[in-house]
Every structure is written in structure tokens, then in C-alpha cells.
């Protein structure tokens, strides 16, 4: 594998407006509407990105027959201090699954549940 292993992620949601509010509040970003012009059953809101910088970007996705919540994949969002984003989770409609935890030489993580029931990770080196 010649590149970083993750190139894109999608977080499936049931209520796109509610999920938009959650992620924009917690991460202080503005999500941009994107989508497939050939398939109106898919609605997507993309996270801001800079293709010249480290990391992958992705989108919130509302798609027929795809239910939000649970699952076998956990997406970690990079943070300066994951406690800062975790502090915004409850007010944005989510919950804390695991508060800031030291993971040794790799930094710190928090596990939170978004407004749609999806668990996401927050990671920082401080």
C-alpha cells in the first residue's frame, strides 16, 4: 500500500439536519452539501478538507435502506485536545461513551455517540 489506508469515510444518519447540527457544533465546522446527481435518494454533507494536508475526509450520508447506529467500523477524528470536542457532545445531542483516556505514546482518545447513535472516536496527542 503506497498511500495512507483511509481515503474517505461515510457516517450514515437517519436525520441529516440533526446530524449536521451535532457535527458542526462539536467540531466547529461547516458541512457542505454534495451528492450523486444521478441518484436523488442519497443526500450527503461533506466535512471540509484540504487535499494537501494529512488525513482523510468524508461525509454524513442519508441513504434509503441504510440505518444509522452501531456497526463494525470506528472513525477517529483528529483533535488538538479531544477533551475540548468531548465537552460539546452532550449539548449537541450526543453522549460520552468513554471520557478522555491516555493511550500511552499514541496520545489520548475519547469515545462518543453522535445524535444518530453512531459511535465515533476523538484522538489527540495532548
pTM of structure: 0.85
Q: What's the grid cell of residue 58? A: 468524508
Which domains are seen in the chain, by residue range? 8-124 (3.10.180.10)
pLDDT in tens, 79-116: 999 999 999 999 999 999 999 999 999 999 999 999 99
pLDDT in tens, 54-72: 888 889 999 888 888 877 7
Amino acid at each position: 500500500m503506497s498511500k495512507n489506508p483511509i481515503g474517505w469515510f461515510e457516517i450514515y444518519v437517519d436525520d441529516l439536519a440533526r446530524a449536521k447540527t451535532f457535527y458542526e457544533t462539536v467540531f466547529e465546522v461547516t458541512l457542505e452539501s454534495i451528492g450523486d446527481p444521478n441518484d436523488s435518494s442519497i443526500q450527503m454533507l461533506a466535512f471540509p478538507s484540504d487535499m494537501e494536508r494529512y488525513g482523510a475526509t468524508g461525509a454524513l450520508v442519508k441513504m434509503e435502506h441504510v440505518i444509522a447506529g452501531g456497526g463494525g467500523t470506528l472513525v477517529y477524528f483528529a483533535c488538538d485536545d479531544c477533551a475540548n470536542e468531548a465537552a460539546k457532545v452532550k449539548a449537541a445531542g450526543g453522549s460520552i461513551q468513554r471520557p478522555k483516556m491516555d493511550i500511552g505514546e499514541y496520545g489520548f482518545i475519547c469515545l462518543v455517540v453522535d445524535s444518530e447513535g453512531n459511535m465515533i472516536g476523538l484522538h489527540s496527542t495532548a
